[in-house]
Amino acid sequence: MTDIPSRDQIKPGTKVGIETKKDQGTGKISIGIVKNILTKNSVHPHGIKVELEDGQVGRVKELFLGTGKIIKKESRENDGEFTTITSETKGPGDLDYEVNATVIIDPENTAKELDNTSIPKHENEHTEFKATFQYDLKEEQFRLNGDIKAADGRKNDSKNNISKIKKEIAIAIAAFANKTGGRLFIGVDDDSSVLGLDGDLKKCENSIETFERSVSEYLKRMLKNNAFVSGLQFQFGSNDDKSYLIIHVPPATKAIWINIDENNQEFYVRMQNNSQKFSPEDMLRYCNERFPN
């Protein structure tokens, strides 16, 4: 049971969270600014339908304060009685987000802490951009520039190059987890421009589901912590018909390692806009404070 905003609470320019038709039943909320109100009635059981400034259409589920904080109401049943709970929060790095960015909170404190597809203007302590997951853009660029020798060299060493590209994904996630959590954008360049996932999807039969599964299975192998990986939230966004993947990373309750092989582990922590590798001595000191139990 949920308190759905009424029409008189919504005006053009209002910041809202909507459920689009494609996301019905998934719990995903898209954030934006109202451009047009499409429902004439004062109330609707599933929410007032609106069009956002970015063109998305859906039913309003939540309203936001002008400060960027979210107001989220929900009702819980307890022995036949419903209690309405109102929560509000401000997410990490919120001041660096673009105008329609925000953070969705989960009163149950599950891994679905964040729900936002807006791309920040730059990387920071809670945001990292990666161009691809397993596609070698450098080889592609060499071929486009006519440097066939260099491109063929990359191709001949593709196994090693792709291994390095994929490892950067695991490093970023482990570093976020060992600090306070964050968001990893795949398909986005260092300058926050969207490159898209075409190369990665080609390696996954052009299937979003196969791509998402490939990322998840790789992280299980590298982190060797299935419980943690299962708590990651995968979300897809798009910009100018180019899609990108956001992995929402919650803070870990136990240290997360990069497992190079059976006898070799690496430990990373997010510091400013970098994933910093710790020495064994620094790791011990850090874990004693960060994970005392």
pLDDT tens for each residue of 90-134: 433 333 333 333 333 333 433 344 445 788 889 999 999 999 999
Tokens of 72: 């989220």
Where is the domain boundary, 96, 118, 145? 96
Residue 105 lies in a domain: no
Residues in Cβ contact with 255 at an 8 Å cutoff, skipping those fewer than 6 apart: 178, 267, 283, 287, 290, 291
Residue closest to 136 by CA, chosen among 110, 164, 174: 164
> Does residue 180 sit in the same domain as residue 251?
yes
Residue 112 lies in a domain: no
Residue 149 lies in a domain: yes
pLDDT band at 41 (very low <50, low <70, confident <90, very high): confident
Residue 113 lies in a domain: no
Domain that holds residue 285: 127-290
Would you say residue 73 has pLDDT above 70? no
* Tally of domains in the chain: 2
Q: Higher confidence at residue 66 or residue 220?
A: 220
Q: Please tell me the distance from the alpha carbon of residue 260 to that of residue 168, in angstroms, as a whole number.
A: 12
> Does residue 83 sit in the same domain as residue 162?
no
Would you say residue 245 has pLDDT above 90? yes
> Does residue 150 sit in the same domain as residue 43?
no
Tokens of 208: 């979003």
Q: Kindly report the number of other CB atoms within 10 A of residue 232's CB atom.
A: 20
User: pTM of the full predicted structure?
Assistant: 0.61
Mean pLDDT of the chain: 81
Q: What is the pLDDT of residue 108?
A: 41
